[in-house]
Structure 1
């Protein structure tokens, strides 16, 4: 059965679309309207969607009856299931994918959202410069950790692009609008991640 992805390209579902493109998976995208609480086809009350996402949040998937929510968990599942070079062949490598994925969730995700909202997303009159400064201060340590790791190898797990790179870069995609001149390894890696054909195809869904 075709993988069904609930979400929109403007949500965290973009991470799942990107991975599906990397893996060459056929998928059906089911748009869910954030503001629609109804049980209709695009509503958050859609019974099929809620069966996959009890919290009514996107993304969620139905993979032939295997239902999952949380974007990074979905990617770990799909990566392990399909592999195709993105999933490590050793237990140590698997541990590293989990490590960097949790790093993305815990050290980057929320703070990147806070920075983006107040630096580029909200109308200028609604932005809070203090929150931008606080977010950048909080991101300094994880950005340094990434820059140092990527100074040793071109990708997070070594010589090849893996799911670790996808999950981390997708979480911090708005960092492409930051000044990363003092983090040259991070800047080089981020550009390389988004230069991949699958990334371009996925982000084109956002009009980028």
Structure 2
């Protein structure tokens, strides 16, 4: 039986969305980030990234992690590539060329987009100040090149790889999503905007997102 560790308000959304796309049965352990708790090591604290029981599974104390009948995998993008290849059918690469493309785009999103996209996401929360607006503008400028590359790639494509929805779309969309509060970036890139809308219109994404919204934004899950 597959077990997915990680709260919905974390990178676990990537794996929970993919599991929904595949139709995988799984147990979900909502491990919460320790920083969300006043005393994560208290006897009555919910399971979190500092809990000994979870650290025994992932010594790095990061989420998500999975246990697939004894196969332990960490890091959301690696988890998704593994699950797609094992269970995903058409969501998986059909050959070595597609495999390379899916890994390339997943890693490009992680290394070239995620940090600055997260800055936009964080700075967009709450009341906007001159300081938060400046953070967003700097992050948006840093994202110009990778977003332009993504726009060129999607200009004549419906999906990221192989003319079908795949794990590459899940991995990249869940990183690009962080920049969504800054709509000018997407208005200037219609192919990226339309692609992300297609991804987020999928029933499995909507089901995942509904559960994410139902989870508390802070404190114990």
> Structure 2-normalised TM-score?
0.86
How many residue pairs match? The answer is: 206
Q: Is residue 2:86 matched to residue 1:81?
A: yes
Aligned pair in 2 of structure 1 residues 123, 64: CA closer, same or farther (>3 Å)? Answer: farther
Deviation per residue, 1:103-155 (Å, 9 max, x gap): 1110111111111111x224435952221111000111111111111112211
Contact 2:5/2:12 (<8 A) preserved: yes
2: CA distance, partners of 1:117 / 1:196: 25
Aligned pair in 2 of structure 1 residues 44, 131: CA closer, same or farther (>3 Å)? Answer: same
1: CA distance, partners of 2:46 / 2:4: 13
Cα deviation for residue 52 of structure 1 reads 2.5
Higher RCO, 1 vs 2 (CA within 8 Å, ≥6 residues apart): 2
Cα deviation for residue 41 of structure 1 reads 5.5
2: CA distance, partners of 1:126 / 1:13: 32
Q: Is residue 2:132 matched to residue 1:128?
A: yes
Measured on the aligned residues, the alpha-carbon RMSD in Å equals 1.9
Contact 2:121/2:180 (<8 A) preserved: no
Structure 2 runs not aligned, ≥5 long = 215-221
After TM superposition, the runs of 4+ consecutive aligned structure 1 residues lying more than 4 A away are: none
Q: Is residue 2:36 matched to residue 1:37?
A: no
- 3-state DSSP of counterpart to 1:207: helix
> Structure 1-normalised TM-score?
0.91
Contact 1:112/1:174 (<8 A) preserved: yes
Structure 1 runs not aligned, ≥5 long = none
Deviation per residue, 1:150-199 (Å, 9 max, x gap): 11221111421111111000112133332312201111100001111111
Aligned pair in 2 of structure 1 residues 123, 56: CA closer, same or farther (>3 Å)? Answer: farther
2:11 is aligned to: 12
Output aligned runs, 1:144-183, within 5 Å.
Answer: 144-177=148-181, 178-179=183-184, 180-183=186-189
2: CA distance, partners of 1:117 / 1:45: 23
1: CA distance, partners of 2:146 / 2:32: 33
**Mean CA deviation greater in 91-100 or 146-155:** 146-155
1: CA distance, partners of 2:57 / 2:149: 35
2: CA distance, partners of 1:73 / 1:126: 38
